[in-house]
Each structure stands twice: as structure tokens, then as C-alpha cells.
Amino acid sequence: MKPGKTGNDFLKRRPCIETVIFSDGGYFMGHTKTSVHFSGSQAVFDTEALIPPADGRPVHSEEMTKARFLARLRSLHIEEWDREYVASNVLDGEQWELEIRFADGCKPLIISGDNAYPPHFKSLQRLMTIPAKRKSWRAACLPVL
């Protein structure tokens, strides 16, 4: 039996979003987990590598406002997503999970996939990736020895 869509239940609970957790990866590309929670008007990103080849050091960033993060999350139209995406004919590849926790104490929304993806999945990945610190022009132009 295929799980249903997230639908109106998600739309009603969207104002209560407290934490968004996204993990993805695969055997050859490592696995990362990014958690976003809110502190005042800021969206606080915490990312950690779960499986090598990544170095495993947690990364912390506060480079996006809460309002901007929630607007970008709304633009994904998660209410139209299924709760599970599976490509059963692929043996190895990318596994991912999105968990949205709510401040009202309701059960978290969990959407997952195994080599199959909802619409706007790449936008979700970009949203949940901590932007690299901007390099200065001088540092960008120096030769690598």
C-alpha cells in the first residue's frame, strides 16, 4: 500500500513548524544530515556528515532569516508530495528523508525516498545546504600551491 499525500494536514500545521531535518546520501557520496531550527528571526542550520568520505565535523550557520527560509519551504509545495518515493528497480543510489517537527506537539511529518523524488527535490536540497562562506576576491585569485 502506498502512503498518501501530505495534503491539507501539512498546510494547517505549517505555521507551527519548529524544526526541519533533512538527510540524504548514498554509499559512494557519503551521507549528511541538516537540521534547521529558529532562534528569534534567524534560521539556524546545523549540518553533520554521517558517513565517510566527509570529515564528520559539524557545521553551524545562521545566514538566512526565518521568514526567508519558511517562504522557500512554502515554495516547494510539500502539501502535494507523497509520503514515500521508491524506485524499486534501483539497487544502490541515494536515500533521503525529510522530517518536519511542529511546536504544537503533533506527530512529525516524515517524507522519505529511495532513488525517487518529489517535484522540486533539487530546490529542497539547495535550501537545506549551508552556503559556503564567501571568499574574498584576493583569496579567490591566489594560486593553490
Residue-level pLDDT at 86: 93
How far apart, in whole angstroms, are the C-alpha atoms of residue 31 and residue 121?
16
| Rounded Cα–Cα distance for residues 66 and 43 (Å) | 5
- 61: DSSP letter: E
Q: What is the pLDDT of residue 119?
A: 95
Mean pLDDT by 10 residues, the chain (145 residues): 70 92 83 92 87 57 87 95 90 89 92 95 90 43 45
Q: The whole model's pTM is what?
A: 0.80
Q: What is the pLDDT of residue 68?
A: 93
